[in-house]
A = this chain, B = another copy of it.
Amino acid sequence: MGKKYRTVQFGCGPIGCYIVKFSVGRSNIELVGAVDIAPDKAGKDLGKAAGLDKELGITISDHAEALLKSVKPDIVIHTTGSKFDVVYEQLASIVKSGVNVVSTCEELSFPYVKHSELAVRLDDMAKTHNVTVLATGINPGFLMDAWPLFMTGVCKEVKAIRATRIQDACSRRIPFQQKIGAGLTALEFQKRVDGGSFGHVGMPESISMIAGALGWEIEKISETIEPVITDKVVSSNYITVPAGRAAGIRQLACAYRGGEPVISLEFQAYLGAPESYDSITITGTPNIDVKVPGGIHGDIGTASIVLNAIPRVVEAPAGLHTMKDMPIVVCSSDILS
């Protein structure tokens, strides 16, 4: 008790850099190392790479195992990718080094549908090495799964859940604006969709987490991605989108049970959305509507919940966990290890 959590930042992209900035200001976090295999990052000082105005005296390493062996952190903050199978070997090497992991890997947030075999393997490995693995973030990890689940706690029965996130993308960073297709023609947008690696990753995971927690058998999950075509010119600080082009994205996922749509997730992020908000609608006894006007900023929310989860991950029994079974994650900036 009374010690800081010693962390290694694994992945120094935009979210990793957000987490580094937040970590530096936290009285309960001691950053002791960083990993990134990109040639333009490895070898650099982490402070500079993260856009801080000072060096941190931490050189970004491209060799995770050697670093973990030398600095012996309490936990690795893993922020390298969305696809579980792609980052599996990274996670396995951290676990084999005997270090806990909190990851932003979207597919890892509830991996038992798409990658069940890998999930079981990682869970076994974590138990063998007596460490805990958790993936979290604002979405998946909170807005469209843990939060609606939490609100069902006061319901006698739940028939259907709807979670909606509407964002005016003007306030988000440029990679985010690009990621949602702002400025593309409808045809270019569709090509990206057809290409397969476009859109928000995590809706099937959020649906499966909800269904898993409520004990619901899901027959079918549908998912659609379409452009929000603007009928007037819209601009952010970075991009101007002429009328007739995509201002952003509208993504829907829906799960069916007994032939009825029971879990509906909707994500819209586009330049010029008239109102940003996050909301949940529970149809049941009682019906519950919950809304956060303005919505919760994605990068701040993700960086925060990742850091806030650290005490829970360190305390949890060994294994691969998901947010549905974790003790509630609270702002832990005043919690020491």
Contact = CB atoms under 8 A, between A and B. Distances in A.
A293 B304 contact: no
B150 A328 contact: yes
A331 B296 contact: no
A67 interface: no
A303 interface: yes
Contact of A215 (B296, B328, B332): B332
A92 interface: no
A289 B289 CA distance: 14
A306 to B, nearest CB: 10
A330 B214 contact: yes
A263 B138 CA distance: 24
B292 A328 contact: no
Contacts of A297: 286
Interface stretch (A151-159, A232-240, A243-251): A151-159
Interface stretch (A33-41, A141-149, A188-196, A220-228): A141-149
A187 interface: no
A52 interface: no
A136 B290 CA distance: 21
A142 B308 CA distance: 20
Instruction: Find the residue from A284, A292, A300 having the highest chain B CB count within 10 A.
Output: A292
B286 A296 contact: yes
A83 to B, nearest CB: 24
B327 A155 contact: no
Contact of A328 (B146, B294, B307): B146
Contacts of A138: 154
B152 A331 contact: yes
Contacts of A152: 308, 330-331
Contacts of A330: 149-150, 152-153, 213-214, 324
B22 A305 contact: no
A155 to B, nearest CB: 5
A291 interface: yes
A53 interface: no
A71 interface: no
A309 B150 CA distance: 12
B334 A216 contact: yes
Contact of A327 (B147, B291, B308, B326): B326
A333 interface: yes
A335 interface: yes
Interface in A277-296: 284-286, 288-294, 296
In the A-B complex, the 4 residue pairs with the smallest Cβ-Cβ separation, listed nearest first, are A215-B334, A152-B331, A154-B301, A153-B329
28 contacts: A138-B154, A142-B153, A149-B328, A150-B329, A152-B308, A152-B331, A153-B305, A153-B308, A154-B296, A155-B308, A155-B331, A156-B307, A156-B333, A158-B331, A213-B328, A214-B331, A215-B334, A215-B336, A285-B300, A286-B297, A286-B300, A288-B292, A288-B296, A289-B292, A289-B294, A323-B328, A324-B327, A325-B328
